[in-house]
Structures are given as structure tokens and as C-alpha cells.
Amino acid sequence: MNHTDGAFVDVLQFLIMGIQRGSIYAMVAMGFNMIYNATGIINFAQGEFVVLGGLMMVTLTMAYNLSIVFAFILTVLFLIIAGILMERLTINPVKQPTVLRLIIITIAVSIIIKGAAMVFWGKGSHYMRHFSGTESLDFYGARILPQTLWIFAILFFVVVAYILFFNYTMTGKCMRACAINRDAARLAGINDRKMVMLSFALSAGIGAIAGIIITPIIQMDYARGAMLGLKGFGAAVLGGLGNSMGAVVAGVLLGILEAMGAGYISSHYMDAIALVILLFVLFIRPSGIFGSSEAMRLKEF
């Protein structure tokens, strides 16, 4: 193997690593956006959904020995219920919602979920078997885990499902209408409160999926939510809040930036590199890469 080949393999390896990281950020960011579109708030408990999904999956597959597919479905359902409960118990009863108040409420919920996860699952790190083995595959010299392929595939599937849902189903269209203009949507007979609930259910479901597919690689413990949430928030903002396809691109981009930064600049400053770029993008384009300032105006803080 000559020198150029080695360099090429490294780039490829960083890319794979970056896209894998980014896929998770992308899914967390999609979850953020769903709730943002319905309510205008950022749900700080989004990272906790991912943690719950991962931990639940670990229990179902490792302790109860359920098959991966069955456990997958059960976990997503469980999280959807958790999302609905969160909305019904903490968001719906708020009579005078202001953005800051709702955000602090979601922070409180994230602390509660974290505390509950700590009590139920303990403080240790939980691991689960990969979907299909740990023998890494050769990809033009770079190594890729089967689980990474699963992550790419499932992200692709989620994105397609997302597009189909919001463009071709009545409920999806109603949710979009609410996102664009809530008052007008209500006048048209759409039950906007129900749409809020639905947005929490869907975003918890996406969080669960992200947690399920990443846990075999990164392991899961109760305290991981904050970091995942922060990165996902970064992706959502970079892509332009409310723009889920923007978030997917931005999430993957953020992941690649981190991987390249760690590989070529410094692992000590890995996370800072992506953040500095994020800040510069914001300073140049105050509403993200794909966000429009028009849409931002509609959602005053």
C-alpha cells in the first residue's frame, strides 16, 4: 500500500465514522424539529428519549431475550407512549405558555427521565449485541461495521417515511399546516392540541429509533442524553430550525466535521472545531444554512 492509498483509506474511514455520528445527530435534530414546528419550543428532553430507547432495547434483548425486530417495535411503541404522556402531563396543562417556561419544563422533564432511568437501569453502562455481528467489512480498504450499515439504512428509511408522511397523508398535512400557521390551521378545523400531542409521540419514536440503532456501538447509560441533545440541537439550528431535511444534511455534516477535525487537526479540540464552524455559520446566516428568515419571523421567541 503506497502513501496516497493510505491517506485515501483514512479519509474514507473518517467519512464513515462521521456519517455514523452524524446520522444520530440528524435523527435527534428531526425530533427537535417536529416539536418545534408544533409548539415553537426546543424540547430539552429529546436526548433523554434516545437514552430511554437504547436502555429499553438493551433490557428487552439482553434480559428478556426477545428478537431484535420484536424488541425494536416494542421499544418504539413504549417511547411513543412516553412522549404522549410527557405532552399530556407537562405541556398540555400549561395555560399561559411562554417559550422560556415551556423550555424549563422540558429541562425538568429531562432531569426526571434521567433520574428515573438511573433508578431503573442503574448507573452502569449497558451494552447489547450488534444486529448482525461485529466482524467489520472491507470497503475500499476502510473498515465498516455491519451495524454502521444498519444505521445508514435506518436513517434512510426514516427520512423516506418522514417525507411520505408529511406530503401524502392527511394527518401529516395537518401537522404541516399547524407548523406554518397555527391560528389559520385551527380556523380550518384542525385540532392543533392533538397535533402537538402527535408531534411529541413521533419525536419520541424517532428518538427511540436513534437510541436503538446506536446502542450496540456506543453502549448506553442514563447520563448520555445531554450530550446527544446538545449535538442534535446544533444540527437542528445549523440546518435551520423547523426544516427537517436541512437538519438531516446538517447533522451528517456536523458528524463529518467532527470526525475530520479529530483526525486531521486535534482530538483534544475535536468537539470545539465543529462548534466554532457552527457559530460562524450562524453569524453569517442568522437562521441556519437552510432556514429562511421569513419562517423565523413567524416564531418569535
Partner 1 sequence: MKGKNSAGFLALIIGIIATPFLVTNDYYLGVLIFAAFNSLACIGLCLLMGYAGQISIGHGAFVAIGAYTSGILTAKLAWSPWLAMLCGILLVIVIAFCLGIPALRLKGHYLAMATLGFASIVHIVVVAAVDLTGGPSGIVNIPRLDLFGYVLNSDRQYFYFSWGVVALGIYIAFNLINSRMGRGLQAIHGSEDAAASLGINITSYKVQVFMLSAVFASVSGSLYAYYVNYIDPGPFDVGHSVLLVTMVAVGGLHNIWGALIGAIFLSLLPEFLSFLSEYLEAFGIEYQPDFDTLIYGSILLIIMLFLPEGIFKGITGSMGSVVSSVKKSLGRTAGREQ
Partner 2 sequence: MKRILILVCLCAAMVFSASTIYANPEAYHVGCAFAVTGKASWLGEPERNTVEMIAKQINDNGGINGHPLVLHIEDTQGDNTRAVNAVKKLIKKDKVCAIIGTSRSGTSMAAIPVATQSEIPMISCASAAVITTPVEQRKWIFKVGPDDSDAARNIFEHMNAHDINKIGILTGTTGFGAAGREQLKEIAGEYGIEIIADETYNPTDTDMTAQLISIRKTGAQAVINWSIVPAQSIVSQNMQQLKLTIPLYQSHGFANIKYAEAAGDSAEGCIFPAGRIMAVDTLSDDHPQKAPLTEYKKAYESTYNEHVSTFGGHAYDALWILVNALKKVGDDPAKLRDELENTTFVGVGGIFEYSEKDHCGLDKDDFALLTVKDGKFVVLKD
Binding site for partner 2 (CB under 8 A): 6, 10, 13-14, 17, 20-21, 118, 123-125, 127, 134, 136, 143, 145, 214, 217-219, 221, 223-224, 227, 259, 262-263, 267-268, 270-271
Q: How far is the CB of 200 from partner 2 (least distance, A)?
A: 26
How far apart (Å, rounded) are the C-alpha atoms in residues 56 and 1? Answer: 44
Report the 10 Å Cβ neighbour count for 279: 11
Q: How far is the CB of 300 from partner 1 (least distance, A)?
A: 7
Cell digits of residue 129: 449485541
CB of 50 or CB of 196, closer to partner 2: 50
**Alpha-carbon dihedral 100, 87, 205, 51, rounded to 10 degrees:** 60
**Distances in whole angstroms, Cα of residue 251 to Cα of each of 21, 229, 288:** 8, 12, 12
CB of 85 or CB of 270, closer to partner 2: 270
How far apart (Å, rounded) are the C-alpha atoms in residues 89 and 70? Answer: 28
Place of cell 423516506: 160
295 binds, among partner 2, partner 1, none (CB under 5 to 8 A by kind): none
CB of 79 or CB of 262, closer to partner 2: 262
Q: How far is the CB of 262 from partner 2 (least distance, A)?
A: 4
Phi first, then psi, for residue 85 (nearest 5°) are -60, -45
Q: How far is the CB of 207 from partner 2 (least distance, A)?
A: 16
Binding site for partner 1 (CB under 8 A): 36, 42, 90, 93-96, 98-101, 104-105, 107-112, 114-116, 118-119, 226, 230, 233-234, 237, 241, 266, 268-269, 271-272, 275-276, 278-279, 282-283, 286-288, 296, 299-301
Place of cell 424539529: 33
**Distances in whole angstroms, Cα of residue 280 to Cα of each of 169, 229, 246, 266:** 38, 21, 17, 19
